[in-house]
Amino acid sequence: MGKDKRRQAEKNLKETVKLYKTLLKTASEAVTVSDLEGRITDVSKRTLEVHGYRHPSELLGKSAFDLIHPKDHQEALANLAKTLQTGSVRNLEYTLLKKDGSTFTGELNAALLRDAEGKPSAFIATTRDVSHRVKVEEELRQVKDHLQAVLDGIDESIVVIDAKYRIVSHNEAFAKSLRKTKEKTVGEHCFHVIHDYAKPCRNCVVRDMFKTGSPEFDVHYHLEKDGKIYHEVKAYPIRDGKGKIIQSIYVFRDVTERETMYERIRQANTRLEELSKMKSYFISIASHELRTPLAIIKGYVDVVKGGMLGEVNERQKTKLNAISGNVTHLDRIIDNILDLSKIESGDLKLSFRKTNLSSLVSSVVEDFTPLAAERGIRLKANVNPIPKIRIDSDRIKQVLINLVDNAVKFTPRGGHVTVSIRKTRKLAVIKVEDSGIGIPRNRLDDVFKSFFQVDSTRKRSYKGVGLGLSICKSIVELHGGEILVFSRVNKGTSVSVRLPL
């Protein structure tokens, strides 16, 4: 070669080497050059930084494999061979080592360098620390998994639908709820997948939501093979960065059981209302239809008994009295039934007036004196004056009559009945005590229940249907008071009525 040519070649080489060294120095990438055996011949500054070294001398001459974690060595070897074959390999990911032994994830591109004759001479690799990216990717995956787990954990069907009714995504509950097995859901029309319709549902809340811009809710049914299926549906908006609604979150729940139950309850309620109206009507008619004949029977018996149609002998008078007694009895039963019915339907009306309760008690005791005398019972009144009290006097009188009647009825000859009234700081207390047959302890709680009778086998001697005390309790309670019973079998009973002053 001529002297000039050699000098030119040397100059070119020097320039090339200079360019090359500058490139290496200034490269922002981590560049590593190694020979064909993988021994490092040159490194850029960035390579040192990335692997935690300070000076090139620490790495030059070392094996490139020292920079790679042993677990990836096999793969690295294979890739090396590949680079030799194909000339370049891209996007390799290895766990790389730092000087202090810590690891990081690196992304590598490797290329084969050839000499002037085209023979492989070296490997050149660029490395990028992608730990950060890998970490972010891992976090993202965790978040995604978490969200999916949350969505799949909810047992309501959740579907994301776009503006053209196509399914974008959904949770597991939705997949499970589909009555048929559908391989494909994403991308299909929601109305087709869910209902097998050819076009959107009549009352589509997703469509409404797109229109109104706010969440829409509905409960409706779809007619299917096995009858009405009720769905509770909700559509929520998903907006893009500019606030425009791009998709809808569609949540729906099968509420067929609930709705059919509601429907049943509604029907039952309507029937109950009708029945209640019928009952009131019948009872008011019945009371009139029953009382009129009673009035006629009683009237004529009184007329005959009173001698207005001719003389009546003692025997006739006695029997006529028996008829009158039974008429009165029937009348009381009708009263009780009417009262009970009113109480049950909440129709019992009280008219409150300031009343002298003490004189009311005295008058009731007076009324019962003849009957008590007839039955050989000592009837006594223990009346203390109390201030006038606001009560429905007719109804309270009804209660007192009932209680005294019971006391007299259930006390044998020779016994006593005492009716007392006194006041405490807040209450008026009326007590009816007798020395009668008493009520067994295990039946004390039943005393105020409808149809209660102490001993139903004795129904014949103790007239009554058993409604009286239950009505008394309701009346007293409607006054804001309470009624209490204490009793000992064969010793006697004490009934206490407490009314607020």
Please report, as ranges, the residues that interact with another protein according to CB under 8 A. 287-288, 291-292, 294-300, 302-303, 306, 308-309, 327, 331, 338, 349, 351, 394
- Of 98 and 397, nearer to another protein (C-beta) is 397
The nearer residue to another protein, 60 or 309, going by C-beta atoms, is: 309
Residue closer to another protein, measured from CB, 294 or 371? 294
Which phi and psi (to 5°) does residue 31 adopt? -105, 130
In the complex, least distance from residue 234 CB atom to another protein, rounded to whole angstroms = 53
The least distance separating another protein from the CB of residue 398, rounded to whole angstroms, comes to 12
Output 81 or 309, the one with its CB closest to another protein. Answer: 309
Reported in sequence order, the residue ranges of 77-181 that DSSP labels E, i.e. its strands, are 88-97, 103-114, 120-129, 157-162, 167-170
Q: What are phi and psi of 203, to 5 degrees?
A: -110, 45
Q: Strand 353-355 and strand 245-254: pairing?
A: unpaired
CB of 335 to another protein, least distance (A): 9
Q: 326 or 496, CB closer to another protein?
A: 326
Q: Which residues contact 287 (CB under 8 A, 6 or more apart)?
A: 334, 337, 338
CA quadruple 172, 173, 176, 182: dihedral sign: negative
CB of 319 to another protein, least distance (A): 18
Closer of 81 and 296 to another protein (Cβ): 296
Minimum distance from residue 407 beta carbon to another protein (Å)? 24
Q: How far apart are CA 156 and CA 152, in angstroms?
A: 9
Of 127 and 474, the one with the shorter C-beta distance to another protein is 474
Q: Which residues partner with 123 through β-bridges?
A: 34, 112
Considering the complex, state which of residue 171 and residue 393 has its C-beta at the smaller distance from another protein.
393
Could you give the 3-state DSSP secondary structure of residue 252? strand
CB atoms within 10 A of CB 410: 20
What is the number of H-type helices and E-type strands within the chain?
Answer: 13, 17
CA distance 463 to 476: 23
Shortest distance, CB of residue 394 to another protein, whole angstroms?
Answer: 7
Q: Tell me the closest approach of the beta carbon of residue 351 to another protein, in angstroms.
A: 8
Nearer to another protein, 246 or 283 (CB): 283
**Inter-CA distances, 20 with 31, 44, 111, 124, 464, Å:** 12, 11, 16, 13, 123
Q: How far is the CB of 306 from another protein (least distance, A)?
A: 6
Residues 307-337: b if buried by 16+ CB within 10 A, e if exposed = eeeeeeeeeeeeebeebeeebeebebeebbb
Question: What span, in angstroms and rounded, lies between the C-alpha atoms of 250 and 265?
Answer: 29
Closest CA to 163 of 214, 197, 209, 196: 209
> Is the Cβ of residue 203 or residue 345 nearer to another protein in the bound state?
345
Query: For residue 308, what is the DSSP state?
Result: B
Closest approach of another protein to the CB of residue 362, in Å: 20
In whole angstroms, how close is the CB of 316 to another protein at the nearest point? 17
